[in-house]
Homo-oligomer: A and B are copies of this chain.
Amino acid sequence: MAVSSLPCKTVLAGAIAKSLLEEVTTDLQKLERVPRLHGYLANKDPAARMYADWSAKTCRENGFEFTLHEVEREDLEDEIRHANIDDSVDGMIVYYPVFDTRRDQTLQWTVSMYKDVEGLSPQLISNMYQNIRFLDPPLNTRKSILPCTPLATIKILEYLHIYSSFLDYGKRLFGRRITVINRSEVVGRPLAALLANDGAEVYSVDITGVQHFSRGSGLKKQKHEVTDMEGWTLEQCLPVSDVVISGVPNEGYKVPTHLIKEGAVCINFSSEKNFNVDVKERASIYVPAIGKVTIVILLRNLLRLAQNRPQTNGAH
């Protein structure tokens, strides 16, 4: 008997990024002013330099202004404070690590929440966890900025119709079970929170164990709650999950393919390949990397920051 080809489709970030970018450039044309992003590079890290070059290129190719500021790390805090009150600056991105200590977090918190393109300001993070989506309730005209990588993952799930467009905004993941492997403060935990706030049952997994993020039966709660799943491991999570999202920054780590539910959607956001090649024998859709989507989200956040500002008549 002829073996038919595997049903699994590999969906590349490039295709998803393209459709998102079209939205961004359409909205950009409605602005009176070209949004300007300041990048701050205060280290010799080649990866940071590469990210800086990449953001410069992406900004310029898509009609945004970008200026790279190479500064001494002791001067960076003052530079950020200056940009916070400089009307010509719409957004800022700092290429970390700078000190590679807790002091980097202080730097991050120095960036004004109204110019924080990465969505990592304390108020923005707090809004995200509390499922508060606007900066100006109850008017709700200025959107709270979400962190880039978690938001990129969400946009991928929307693109793949895992979000149901038939349900109300904010409830479109109702009925979906999602495992997120990685519970870092920067990506895994915010991602689990965002997915649960949108209605999913989320299993958040790291080496310390499994936590369940959920708005409860019938989404009766306004925001997610977290409970520890004593004794649970991937063995319990994966066979019931419609979506598996992994971001373990470890070359050796692999999601155990045999535990994945047949027909699941598998997304890797690690720089390493967290899924074995044989994932295509289990999954229906496999997204091997998401970086190209994340960079578009950076532009999208910059656009939001510019949209959130009171409209001026182009004084600068």
Contact = CB atoms under 8 A, between A and B. Distances in A.
A12 B304 CA distance: 36
A264 B219 contact: no
Interface of A: 1-7, 9, 11, 160-161, 164-168, 171, 174-176, 199, 217-220, 222, 242, 261-264, 281-282, 284-285
12 contacts: A1-B222, A4-B220, A7-B168, A7-B218, A9-B166, A160-B164, A160-B166, A161-B164, A161-B166, A166-B284, A174-B262, A176-B263
Given A164-B285, A281-B218, A285-B167, A261 B7 contact: no
Contact of A7 (B165, B167, B242): B167
Contacts of A1: 222
Contacts of A11: 166
Contacts of A5: 168
A96 B262 CA distance: 42
A133 to B, nearest CB: 14
A7 B161 contact: no
Given A174-B263, A175-B262, A263-B174, A4 B219 contact: yes
